[in-house]
Amino acid sequence: MSTEPNRPSSLNGGTTPAGTPRGEAARDHLWGHMTRHSTWEHGEVPIIVKGEGHHIWDSRGKRYIDGLSGLFVVQAGHGRAELAEAARAQASELAFFPLWSYAHPQAIDLAERLAHHAPGDLNRVFFTTGGGEAVETAWKLAKQYWKLVGQPGKHKVISRAVAYHGTPQGALSITGIPGMKAPFEPLVPGAHKVPNTNIYRGPEALRDDPKAFGRWAADRIEEAIVFEGPETVAAVFLEPVQNSGGCFPPPPGYFERVREICDTHEVLLVSDEVICAFGRIGDMFACNDYGYVPDMITCAKGMTSGYSPIGACLVSDRLFEPFRHGTTTFYHGYTFGGHPVSAAVAMANLDLFEREGLNARVAQNAPVFRRTLERLLDLPIVGDVRGDGYFYGIELVKDAATRETFSDDEAERLLRSFLTPALLDAGLYCRADDRGDPVIQLAPPLTCGPAEFDEIEQILRGVLTAAWAQL
Ligand SMILES: Cc1ncc(COP(=O)(O)O)c(C=O)c1O
């Protein structure tokens, strides 16, 4: 137990079985992910204790709208008893068995179902426990594939500036956020970055012409492949809508051109749909929303709506072909990859999607979500509202006319010191992020509709108006 003076007492949150106030035990023993621990040391540890529908409650009993589905995860909303029941039933029947040379019914059924939703010949599913592992899997698989087909020099990857692809060292190499990588350098070599599809900050001459901008952005990928040498490049990793930086949708024609470039130079296209799959944009896989067929899809988060962890890398028949013969083996795996309980929960979650028509619901409501959030453009601090489906970013600026952004110090004060607590005080859980320019990220459960959009807009309006006043 801590004996340090001047630490805030945990107001609430109950006690641990050992009798320690939970906030105190969190400060002493829990290492938060991506967490600045000074905020726990000098402030209250936010402890979330319950979820129901699109609401969550903290340990003081305060209720919030979950404007981020936890972390782009809880598609079906909180408190779904049938998903909990699927986990219970599966744990009673077969709690665990690995996919190492064995199969179990839940992984087989889920693999078939995912393949059914995927486009083209993406018929093979390699399960992981999360998104970063799926990305890691895709890069390793791409490298071995090219070795097997006689192009052993193809090992490099291209991805986009500011994009986040996970924390394993390969996935982190693919990630385009220098500040997150620096503490761990040197990372896996051979990962090169190209501009993303942020048209709001794109070359000025192209900002009013999305098609030309899309062509320009896609051509940067070709430029990088040619510069590195196509005989050295294994794959391009792209999210359908890039999250980090604040929701950059693909401009018209972008993925068509990227597919063409990848085919020309024999480079694999990986659609990283860790956020965008399972209805976040509309379809089960967002590449279907944008009409392109990748060679691999990485996915995780929404597959179970978060009721149990799982991820997957979906692979085309063409890529799987050389692994089908003789002694060839993909020496890669995770003890918990494709866990029976998680696979059973994923099946129940996808049943729920079908029964409640969640994909169609997103397609129908997405324009209303956009229009509702665009009302915020009348605030001087709101520079851009962008996104697709149930996935939006709101970029905050110092001067909407010139698009001038905040200095690092201002962003720090605005996002961390003011916005994050102010949004929570006002009852909205979402994310104020500055991995690129300052943005507010929104991704509510797919069960939300116009009434919740209005509520979110009203809360944002109040908090952003106050933010502007205190600048
Ligand atoms: C696009 C993308 N790829 C990969 C990951 C990593 O997933 P995980 O946190 O499940 O490892 C994330 C996480 O947010 C992501 O957004």
**Which tens digit of pLDDT belongs to each residue from 342-396?**
999 999 999 999 999 999 999 999 999 999 999 999 999 999 999 999 999 999 9
Q: What is the pLDDT of residue 8?
A: 42
Low-confidence ranges of the chain (pLDDT < 50): 1-11
Give just the sign of the alpha carbon dihedral 71, 77, 78, 80: negative
For ligand 1, the distance from its centroid to the CA atom of residue 166, given in whole angstroms, is 5
Of 76, 79, 95, the closest CA to residue 87 belongs to 95
- Whose CA is closest to atom 2 on ligand 1? 165
Tell me which residue of 249, 275, 240, 283 sits closest to 114, measured CA to CA.
Answer: 283
* Six-digit token string for 203: 């070359």
Question: To test ligand 1's pocket by mutation, which of 72, 74, 159, 165 has the most ligand atoms within 8 angstroms of CB?
Answer: 165
Rounded to the nearest angstrom, the distance between the alpha carbon of 171 and the centre of ligand 1 is 9
Is the preceding peptide bond at 186 cis, omega within 30 degrees of 0? yes
Confidence (pLDDT) at 436: 79
Say what the pLDDT of residue 9 is: 40
Protein residue with least CA distance to atom 4, ligand 1: 165
**206 CA to centre of ligand 1 in angstroms:** 30
User: Measured in angstroms, how far is the CA atom of residue 28 from the centroid of ligand 1?
Assistant: 28
- Find the 301 Cα to ligand 1 centroid distance in Å: 8
Which ligand 1 atom is the nearest neighbour of the CA of 275? 16
The pTM for the full model equals 0.96
At residue 13, the pLDDT reads: 77
Count other C-beta atoms under 10 Å from residue 280's C-beta: 30
Please classify residue 162 by burial: count the beta carbons closer than 10 Å to its beta carbon, then call 0-12 exposed, 13-18 middle and 19+ buried. Answer: buried
Q: Which residues neighbour 127 within 8 Å (Cβ) at sequence distance 6 or greater?
A: 99, 107, 110, 111, 310, 311, 312, 334, 337, 338, 343
Indicate the top mutation candidate among 160, 177, 274 to test ligand 1's pocket, ranked by most ligand atoms within 8 A of CB.
274
Atom of ligand 1 nearest to the CA of 163: 1
CB-hemisphere CA count at 13 Å for 107? 25
Residue-wise pLDDT tens digits, 178-210: 999 999 999 999 999 999 999 999 999 999 999
Beta strand 268-272 with 55-58 is unpaired
Indicate the DSSP class of residue 399: B
> Probe ligand 1: pick from 129, 135, 441, max atoms within 8 Å of CB?
135
Q: List beta partners, residue 388.
A: 391
**pLDDT at residue 12, rounded to an integer:** 55
Q: Which residues line ligand 1 (CB under 6 A)?
A: 130-132, 135, 164-166, 239, 243, 272, 274-275, 300
In angstroms, what is the span from residue 164 Cα to ligand 1's centroid?
Answer: 7
Q: For residues 367-400, b (16+ Cβ closer than 10 Å) or e, as one string?
A: eebbebbebbeebebbbbbbbbbbbbbbbbbbeb
The Cα–Cα gap between 299 and 311 comes to 6
Atom of ligand 1 nearest to the CA of 72: 14
Tokens matching residue 81 = 């008893």
Instruction: For residue 136, report the distance from its CA to the centre of ligand 1, in Å.
Output: 11
Question: How far is ligand 1, taken at its centre, from the CA of residue 272, in Å?
Answer: 8
Q: What is the pLDDT of residue 66?
A: 98
In a 10 Å sphere around its CB, with 0-12 CB exposed, 13-18 middle and 19+ buried, how is residue 149 labelled? middle
Ligand 1 site-directed mutation target among 275, 297, 303, 334, most atoms within 8 Å of CB? 275
Nearest CA, atom 3, ligand 1: 165
